[in-house]
Amino acid sequence: MDIEELIKRELTPHTEILWGEEYHNRKGVLIDTIHGDGKLLIYLVPLATRPDYYIMRVDSSVEKLIEEDGDEIRELVDLEFMEDIIVEFGHHESEDDDGEPSYDPFPALNDSCGFTWGIIT
């Protein structure tokens, strides 16, 4: 399956199962920013909003970083990929017009509990 077919599949509503619970009509949210050659499709799942997830096109070299699962991929996710999500969708914790805390739903980024990520195949 080529990357365009993978994207189409991930953007099509489907059922996700998380801890035995079915979540219907789930689909990924595609991040517009493309990193590097854009030949690798990854998922980013904020633990606070799972099973909701983002999908992103990244440089093919990221595959090796994900496989190594070291500090380099964590820094890339924290410093670049999360920033792309915030720029596009905002952060879930903001302030209303009166300066009071406001919490926006997904796809606004809720990074309060961490993330998981991987390669979409």
In this predicted structure, which of 11-15, 71-75, 101-105, 116-120 has the lowest mean pLDDT? Answer: 101-105
Taking 80 as the threshold, does the pLDDT of residue 21 lie above it?
yes
Residue 42 in any domain: the answer is yes
Quote the number of domains for the chain: 1
Q: Can you give the residue range of the structural domain that contains 41? A: 31-119
Contact between 16 and 43 (Cβ < 8 Å)? no
What are the DSSP calls for 54-85, one per residue? EEEEE-TTHHHHHHHTSHHHHHHIIIIIHHHH
Quote the pLDDT of residue 120. Answer: 96
CA neighbor of 61 nearest in space, from 36, 93, 29, 86: 36
Residue 24 in any domain: the answer is no
List, for residues 55-104, the tens digit of each pLDDT value. 999 999 999 999 998 899 999 988 899 999 999 999 888 777 787 777 88
32 band by pLDDT with thresholds 50, 70 and 90: very high
Residue 74 in any domain: the answer is yes
